[in-house]
Amino acid sequence: MSDGPQTVSFAVLPLPSDAAGSGTEFARTLAAHPLVHQELPYDPQYTVYNRRLTALRMTSGSAEDAYWRLRRHVILRHTGELPIEVRGPDAVRLLDLVFTRDVAKTRVGRCSYQIACLDDGGMIMDGVLVRLAEDRFWYGQADGDLTLWLKAQARGLDVAVVDPGVWVSQVQGPDSLRVLEAAVDGPYPDPFRYFDAARVRIAGQDVVITRTGFTNELGWEVYLEPGGDTPAVGDRILDAGRPYGLTPVAVGGARRIEAGLLNAGSDFDETVTPFAAGLGSMVDLDKPAFIGKAALQCADTRSRTWGLRVPGGVARLGLTLETEGAPAGRVCSSAWSPFLGCGVAIVRLDEAGPGPGTPIAVVCHDDRTRPAELCTLPMYDPHREIPRGKRVDIPTFPRPEMGRDEGA
pLDDT digits (tens, 9 = 90+) for 225-264: 999 999 999 999 999 999 999 999 998 899 999 999 999 9
- Among residues 218, 154, 266, the alpha carbon closest in space to that of 386 is found at 218
CA atoms of 181 and 203, how far apart (whole Å): 13
Res 6 pLDDT > 90 = no
Q: What is the pLDDT of residues 174-233, one digit of tens each?
A: 999 999 999 999 999 999 999 999 999 999 999 999 999 999 999 999 999 999 999 999
Rounded to an integer, the average pLDDT of 92-106 is: 98
25 band by pLDDT with thresholds 50, 70 and 90: low
Supply the pLDDT for residue 255. Answer: 96
The DSSP code for 247 is -
Angle between helices 176-183 and 230-241 (to 10 degrees): 130
CATH 3.30.1360.120 domain position(s) in the chain: 17-75+165-254
Which homologous superfamily is 17-75+165-254 in?
Answer: Probable tRNA modification gtpase trme; domain 1 (3.30.1360.120)
CA atoms of 203 and 185, how far apart (whole Å): 7
CA atoms of 214 and 124, how far apart (whole Å): 19
CA atoms of 388 and 196, how far apart (whole Å): 11
45 touches 70 (CB < 8 A) = no
CATH 2.40.30.110 domain position(s) in the chain: 302-408
- Check if CATH label 2.40.50.180 holds for domain 302-408: no
Strand, helix or coil at 321? strand
Res 9 pLDDT > 80 = no
CA atoms of 83 and 86, how far apart (whole Å): 10
Higher pLDDT, 141 or 252: 141
The verdict on whether residue 221 carries a ligand-binding annotation is: yes
What percentage of the chain reaches a pLDDT higher than 70? 92
Res 154 pLDDT > 50 = yes
